[in-house]
């Protein structure tokens, strides 16, 4: 199976601030020269940043614990500790950052978009910074503060213009293979596709991307057949193409019945309302433009079926393609 990871739990911690230093200046013939303990350096931040070079979350699946470096401790002679290094974690375009409870923290779209996943802790003040009129030579310094530490969930949503949706084995992967250079696995058993395939289609002067989403079944919106997981990929597509199998052999299936079930699942699937599309507005899945592809019309029965359902689909306002 392809190793495509699109959801990981990442444990991040910012660097701890360095401790402040207690020190007293010593010079020849001047035993108490005043406090000279420097401040601790701040701890480094952990930042998630979109990078075009990164296409999967696989690295974080293999190494889910990430720490930024700690700040250095302050030293005598007013020397401050080194600031901890910022840890930049590259993530793919379209990564959504959530808490474990599902609250969206950031929606990272576009090269360079970033989010501070864990801030570093402040360095502690050294005794020279703590001295005052009243307390000229404090015998103490402050400890550095620990950096933020938390678990964030990273989810990758495919971003394509068009999503192909339909029952398992309806021919979605065959269609994307015919229209683009994508070469997904195609086979006559259900759930051949387990991760979305993306293809780029060049039609005249128009160029668009298309996603082949794994097959959907009744109950997908409640998570059946990994439906939740698959529907999530449809969220970022501007328009949908229903791929309807006109030559399905099961008695209870025909293109209209299949369409009704998929439409019902799209309707039930509540798009996470805290997620806004690229334009800032949320369009539910069943409110997006939809086209119909009647597939397997090369099979004689399929051709008949297509001719039979086409008028009904057109009457409902769909543009229908065989
Ligand atoms: N005769 C005929 N067979 C087709 C056509 N399109 C797809 N098939 C066959 O139908 C089967 C399923 O095709 P896939 O493209 O893998 O279907 P899918 O919708 O991607 O299926 P899942 O990934 O399981 O959801 C394969 O055996 C294909 O060869 C078609 O237009 N005509
Ligand atoms: Mg497929």
Mean pLDDT of 295-312: 95
Q: Average the pLDDT over each of 45-49, 81-85, 193-197 and give the range with the smallest value.
A: 193-197
Mean pLDDT of 212-219: 86
8 A C-beta contact, residue 42 and residue 120: yes
d(CA 126, CA 137): 11
- DSSP helix/strand/coil, 142: coil
Q: Which residues have a beta carbon within 5 Å of ligand 2, which is an ion? A: 173, 192-193
Integer-rounded Cα radius of gyration of the chain: 29
DSSP designation for 35: B
For each of the domains in the chain, give its residue range(s) and CATH number, in order of start.
1-156 (2.70.210.12), 162-321 (3.40.50.300)
How does pLDDT run across 6-54, given as a tens digit for each residue?
788 999 999 999 999 999 988 887 777 789 999 999 999 999 999 988 8
Q: Is the pLDDT of residue 4 over 50?
A: no
How does pLDDT run across 226-245, given as a tens digit for each residue?
777 778 778 778 899 999 99
- Using most ligand atoms within 8 A of CB, pick from 1, 167, 169 the residue to mutate for ligand 1: 169
8 A C-beta contact, residue 137 and residue 34: yes
What's the pLDDT score for residue 54? 84
DSSP designation for 221: G
CA of 228 to the centre of ligand 1 (A): 22
8 A C-beta contact, residue 231 and residue 285: yes
The number of the ligand 1 atom at minimal distance from the alpha carbon of 185 is 16
Q: Is the pLDDT of residue 266 over 90?
A: no
DSSP designation for 224: G
Token pair, residue 136, equals 């000229």
- Using most ligand atoms within 8 A of CB, pick from 2, 167, 174, 177 the residue to mutate for ligand 1: 174
Q: Is the pLDDT of residue 201 over 50?
A: yes
How does pLDDT run across 63-81, given as a tens digit for each residue?
999 999 999 999 999 999 9
How does pLDDT run across 110-167, given as a tens digit for each residue?
889 999 999 999 999 999 999 998 988 899 999 999 999 999 999 876 568 899 999 9
CA of 288 to the centre of ligand 1 (A): 25
8 A C-beta contact, residue 93 and residue 40: no
The pLDDT mean for the chain works out to 88
């Amino acid at each position: 199976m392809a190793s495509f990871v699109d959801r990981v739990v990442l444990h991040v911690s910012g660097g701890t601030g360095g401790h402040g230093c207690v020190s007293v200046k010593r010079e020849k013939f001047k035993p108490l020269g005043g406090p000279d303990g420097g401040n601790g350096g701040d701890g480094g931040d952990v930042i998630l940043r979109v990078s075009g070079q990164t296409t999967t979350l696989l690295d974080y699946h293999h190494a889910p614990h990430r720490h930024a470096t700690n700040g250095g401790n302050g030293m005598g002679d007013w020397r401050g500790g080194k600031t901890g290094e910022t840890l930049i974690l590259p993530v793919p375009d379209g990564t959504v950052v959530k808490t474990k409870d599902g609250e969206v923290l950031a929606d990272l779209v576009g090269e360079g978009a970033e989010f501070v996943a864990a801030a570093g802790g402040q360095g502690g003040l050294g005794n020279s910074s703590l001295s005052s009129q009243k307390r000229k030579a404090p015998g103490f310094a402050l400890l550095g503060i620990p950096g933020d530490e938390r678990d964030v969930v990273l989810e990758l949503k495919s971003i394509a213009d068009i999503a192909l949706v339909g029952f398992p084995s309806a021919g979605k992967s065959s269609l994307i293979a015919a229209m683009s250079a994508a070469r997904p696995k195609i086979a006559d058993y259900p759930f051949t596709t387990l991760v979305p395939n993306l293809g780029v289609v060049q039609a005249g002067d128009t160029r668009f991307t298309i996603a082949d989403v794994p097959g959907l079944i009744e109950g997908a919106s409640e998570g059946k057949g990994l439906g939740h997981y698959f529907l999530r990929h449809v969220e970022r597509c501007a328009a949908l193409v229903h791929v309807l199998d006109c030559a399905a052999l099961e008695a209870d299936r025909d293109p209209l019945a299949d369409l009704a079930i998929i439409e019902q699942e799209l309707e039930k699937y509540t798009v996470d309302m805290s997620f806004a599309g690229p334009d800032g507005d949320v369009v539910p899945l069943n409110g997006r433009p939809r086209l119909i592809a009647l597939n397997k019309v090369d099979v004689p029965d399929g051709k008949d079926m297509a001719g039979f359902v086409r008028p009904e689909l057109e009457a409902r306002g769909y543009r229908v393609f065989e």
